[in-house]
Structure 1
Amino acid sequence: MDAHSAPLPAAAMPATGLGRFAGHIDSGLGRLVETVAAVLVLVEIIILGAGVTARYVFHAPLVWSDELASILFLWLSMLGAVVALRRGEHMRMTGLVTRVSPQTRALLEAIAITASIAFLLLIIPHAVEYAEEENFIVTPALEISNAWRAAAIPIGVGLMLIAAGCRLLRFGSLKPVLLAIGLTALLVLLFWLAGPALKPLGKLNLLVFFVGVVALNVFSGVPIAFSFALATFGYLACTTSTPMLVMVGRLDEGMSHLILLAVPLFIFLGALIEMTGMARAMIQFLASLLGHVRGGLSYVLVGAMYLVSGISGSKIADMAAIAPVLFPEMQKRGAKPGDLVALLSATGAQTETIPPSIVLITIGSVTGVSIAALFTGGMLPAVVLGVALCFVVWWRCRGEDLSNVKRYPKREIAKLTLIAAPAIALPFVIRAAVVEGVATATEVSTIGIAYAILAGILLYRQFDWRRLPKMLVETASLTGAIIFIIGCATAMAWGLTQSGFSRDLAQAMAAVPGGSWGFLGVSIVAFTILGSVLEGIPAIVLFGPLVFPIAHQVGVHEVHYSMVVIFAMGIGLFAPPFGVGYYGACAISKINPDEGLKYIWGYILALLIGLLVVAAVPWISIGFLRS
């Protein structure tokens, strides 16, 4: 569940010696870090692929493969975060930033950079100390110092500092930069001086930091990861005696779940599906079946998102694979651009639970819910919401003129079915490999990658080797943006837990009248709001460990609850005015967001009705778990 809003400005470089020097440093650093990060993605694929092959084919497991993959994954995550920062691809909320005057926007864009720099400067000495402490720990399989792994954090933080500093030096105007530096420094100083006054406030500090500071940063356009990190650092430093070494440890813990290694591999798999023509084959097959009925191509859009969704880890990538293929033909038939982008956005929310969704993997990693169970449980709920969307399509398209629409002959449908079959089989191959125990949820992506490469080369004869380096770099960047958020949100969740907040939350939610139904209702409202403000993955990492035990306590099945929570967040993420997923769909479609507002509320209502059905009928989510 990701939707990147507008990136930080790549302002024109001033013709000063300092600006040019920063440009050279930034360019050289970018090439070096992108190359290393791309190589790490490739090496991770090879290591995990070798592990699956050795264990399943040769029955001789590689005892060191998971350990080496884990060490390299932290390096990939930190270097990917550097690439994402340099390219302006960290997830951020720009709803307010885009609605202010150009002068205010320039100031907010500069603050987004200076606030990030402030956190990096505050944390780097503790990151260095953490790496030094890890030097005394020896890894069990490779028998090397754990400092080789932990050093990724201070080095990544240092490289992010350089990248952010270069962005600041190359900013288009000096005045907003100086003002942003002054404001950021003043706020940091004020909080430091206020420390003695804040400590006696007790739990009121949770409102100051985890509501006030987070909201101020998020709505100012500061990347969400840095917003979480600044609030957590401020809370721990100003109101507790906790050593900051602990925060670095929690950051490391959040980024080091081996299950999260599935994130870069599925992102890369999604890029392969688009590049090899598999996505196009699926869409053409669906169009041949439904293109001649009223609203047929809208049904194809819903079905195509169902098939493609979840594999790339990025809804933007899913949409980018489908919209350019379908939209031109749909517009030829008289479809309104606003209706197209509204439906595309709604399918983004509808398909959140389809395996191997990165959100499912994230929930499994932070709550301990079985990934195989989540993969099995996610298929049918998405169908329910898809049927709800199709009902709106049927209603809106019941008067469509089909006089000029071509109907495919049976022979051509059969041919397209044959062509699309390998592509359509891929999601089911992935699910079967996990459920049958051939590979873990982390490793199964390598099976999908091998499958997609072979299908692209041998069946579709469409494999552009020259695109691979760019795909690897983009995979690393998106991975860094996602995993760095998870690390910062894990540290924040730890801070909330230590404060006693989780116990208070549990008591409040458990006290909601209506038992499990009341709890599900309040969860839908809460996660819809969280999804619109924080996006899905940060909200899951932050609140998942807190609310899932409550769900168990009131008798809600963990897989059923996962589906309800994911859909609620998805609806929030793709609903205007705050949901950045909606603006991502508009950017992909090249359609003005205002055009879709008239049409999207019907789809949002359908999604909410579908969500209520899923919440009310647990069998939809858990009925196939026993089979």
Structure 2
Amino acid sequence: MDAAVRPQDGGGVIARIETVLRHAVELPTAILVLVEIGVLLAGVVSRFVFHHPFVWSDELASILFLWLAMLGAVVALQRGQHMRMTAIVAGMGAPWRERAQVLAVAVPALFLLIVLPYARDYAEDEWFIETPALGWSNIVRAGAIPVGCAIMLAGCVLRLLRFRLRELIEVAAVLAVLVVALHLAAPALKALGNWNLCFFFVLLLAAGVLLGVPIGFAFGAATVAFLICVTNAPLTIVVSRMDEGMSTLVLLAVPLFVFLGLLIEMTGMARAMVAFLAGLLGHVRGGLYYVLLGAMYLVSGISGSKAADMAAVAPVLFPEMKRRGAHEGELVAILSASGAMSETIPPSLVLITIGSVTGVSIAALFTGGLVPGLVLALALALVAWHRSRHEAVGSRASGKEIRRTLVIALPALLLPFVIRTAVVEGIATATEVSTIGIAYAVVVGIVVYRQFDLRRIYPMLLETAALSGAILLIIGTATAMGWALTQSGFSRQLAHAMASVPGGGFGFLLISIAAFVVLGSVLEGIPAIVLFGPLLFPIAHTVGINEVHYAMVVVLAMGIGLFAPPLGVGYYAACVIGRVDPDMGMKRIWPYLGALLVGLLAVAAVPWFSTGFLR
């Protein structure tokens, strides 16, 4: 759910209960983020400084991480921050829009109601398993799933009670009819063989996503419906796959990089980088456009949120760009395009997710992502140069001023390079280097920039938990959905069909580009990767495509879909951040998207861009 969900006020009692529940969850969740950072940082210090690693640190971090994922999902649900598609719902009339809002709460409630007993059983089965280092019962970790599901279910019920009774009854009737219809149609659906996948994972899933059901819950609901109707698999498999998807140690980097990105903005590091680039290039034609592209290249990926990346750059540059005569639509157009351009810039959470679900080396992905992003940045720069020909240019900064801004920006400029070098050179894992980055940002913020507002830490911890929980819930339910697709034999059929595409490897790349542009506009990057990565990467390997090269192609394709109107939610996020009406940029973004597509085709045609610097 997101801020578009505005239920009718059902009375002060429900509001007070929601407030109490929110505060009861938010404080321990914020503390959990801090403890997670502290445990991981202690493990890194003990290993690299004292050469005496804490054998229990990774195990404790893994236990805390599942709790953070589930409680973060609760916070995201309470704040309406779960990823969902709202473009179609927003265009509906008021009565239908409210019904869609009820549906966006009712479907998660139904999914949680079905899964909760199996989550409890799954946790109870873990009672007799003992963790190797700490010697704790594994129910300490697995209990996070039923607890999180129960709190989210309570939150959904409270929110449903605030809608008007008429809409509640109508939506409940529709869902009841759908459940009965699925029960009666189960024999016929079984007889269809794997064609029934089109019903559950194309028609049913697409209907849920397009009507604004949060993506993670839409995945889960479609999977549960498939397993109940056409298989004999126990629903505990959904819970176990969710646990597996959310518990991968590589994903520990997700909340840490999210928090690091917020620290970079809060401490003024992002502003320092932008100020230096503006002094360096602000006097040339299209100079501030190049600064925007360069700033997005530097800061992208650290926060785990394109919205956070854009929010760190746009407010600094847009006022001056408008003063020089830039059209508002032009600004939001290049901001959106720069978000798509920078999807492969490490340490991108999409790249970390690819490494997690496909087994591709994250160090190799980090190395391979730099040049493709640069290729697309150059393509965008050419368009910006042409379209800024009538705008004023700024005065040339003096050498002294450039040196001054460089000195100020140097600590900030070093951070992205330190992070990427540490991972690529094998000095530290993505998780370890994120803790180092947090410690670095805190020290630099306090000592160098003297901007460290303690009052902002608590909201930042909650924002970290909410974004991380939303991402990890999608990964968990998509993992369960991917298991269902794999067990059905769909992956083998897909592999056979796509491997026989005319044109060999390049034909496969072209089809993948088209597919992931569409997926990016509907599902966003991480959900699409978790769902289809394990299926398509082996096919790419079979037809002779390097896995790092394939990763860059599909990530950039998803980025184009994510920021392409009218469906791409990234475009609307850029409009909100830039405070520009979406209609202003709708016509002006297409030359930039065309440049991105040309750059993507160049990356696809020239594998060296992705693999030239791999060892």
Aligned to 1:238: 229
Q: Residue 390 of structure 1: CA displacement?
A: 0.2
In the TM superposition, 1:571-582 aligns within 5 A as 571-582=560-571
Q: 1:524 aligns with which of 513, 525, 528?
A: 513
Matching of residue 25 in structure 1 with residue 17 in structure 2: yes
Matching of residue 506 in structure 1 with residue 495 in structure 2: yes
In the TM superposition, 1:219-618 aligns within 5 A as 219-402=210-393, 405-618=394-607
Unmatched runs of 5 consecutive residues or more in structure 2: none
1:102-135 residue CA offsets vs partner (Å, 9 max, x unmatched): 1110110111101111101111111111111111
Aligned to 2:55: 63
Cα distance in 1 for residues equivalent to 2:599 and 2:2: 31
1:560 is paired with a residue whose SS is helix
Q: 1:45, 1:265 within 8 Å by CA — same for their partners in 2?
A: yes
Aligned to 2:182: 191
2:344 is paired with a residue whose SS is coil
Cα distance in 2 for residues equivalent to 1:186 and 1:81: 29
Q: 1:107 aligns with which of 89, 95, 99?
A: 99
Cα distance in 2 for residues equivalent to 1:610 and 1:178: 51
Q: 1:118, 1:184 within 8 Å by CA — same for their partners in 2?
A: no
Most deviating of 198-207 and 245-254: 198-207
Cα distance in 2 for residues equivalent to 1:539 and 1:303: 27
Q: Residue 192 of structure 1: CA displacement?
A: 2.6
Q: 2:136 aligns with which of 144, 152, 158?
A: 144
1:170 is paired with a residue whose SS is coil
Instruction: For 1:560, give the aligned amino acid.
Output: H
Most deviating of 118-127 and 178-187: 178-187
Cα distance in 2 for residues equivalent to 1:241 and 1:191: 15
Instruction: For 2:351, give the aligned amino acid.
Output: L
2:406 is paired with a residue whose SS is helix
Matching of residue 41 in structure 1 with residue 33 in structure 2: yes
Cα distance in 1 for residues equivalent to 2:319 and 2:5: 31
Cα distance in 1 for residues equivalent to 2:192 and 2:72: 38
1:222-270 residue CA offsets vs partner (Å, 9 max, x unmatched): 0001111011000001100001111111111111101001000000000
Q: 1:10, 1:167 within 8 Å by CA — same for their partners in 2?
A: no
Q: Residue 8 of structure 1: CA displacement?
A: 4.2
Q: Residue 7 of structure 1: CA displacement?
A: 2.5
Matching of residue 98 in structure 1 with residue 87 in structure 2: no
Identity in percent = 63
Q: Residue 195 of structure 1: CA displacement?
A: 2.2
Instruction: For 1:392, give the aligned amino acid.
Output: V
1:73-101 residue CA offsets vs partner (Å, 9 max, x unmatched): 01000001011111110000111101110
Instruction: For 1:484, give the aligned amino acid.
Output: L
Give the alignment's TM-score, normalised by structure 1. 0.97
Q: 1:56, 1:438 within 8 Å by CA — same for their partners in 2?
A: no
Q: Residue 193 of structure 1: CA displacement?
A: 3.2
Cα distance in 1 for residues equivalent to 2:437 and 2:499: 42
1:384-431 residue CA offsets vs partner (Å, 9 max, x unmatched): 0000000000111123233xx332111111000110011011011011
Cα distance in 2 for residues equivalent to 1:467 and 1:423: 20
Q: 2:112 aligns with which of 117, 120, 131?
A: 120
Cα distance in 1 for residues equivalent to 2:38 and 2:175: 44
For the aligned residue pairs, the C-alpha RMSD in angstroms reads: 1.1
Q: Residue 45 of structure 1: CA displacement?
A: 0.6
Q: Residue 6 of structure 1: CA displacement?
A: 4.9
Cα distance in 1 for residues equivalent to 2:273 and 2:456: 22
Q: Residue 12 of structure 1: CA displacement?
A: 4.9
1:470-501 residue CA offsets vs partner (Å, 9 max, x unmatched): 00000000001000000000000000000000
Q: 1:82 aligns with which of 65, 74, 78?
A: 74
Aligned residues: 615
Cα distance in 2 for residues equivalent to 1:30 and 1:181: 26
Cα distance in 2 for residues equivalent to 1:477 and 1:195: 37
Aligned to 1:170: 162
Q: Residue 179 of structure 1: CA displacement?
A: 1.6
1:169-210 residue CA offsets vs partner (Å, 9 max, x unmatched): 223x33222222222232223223332332222112101100
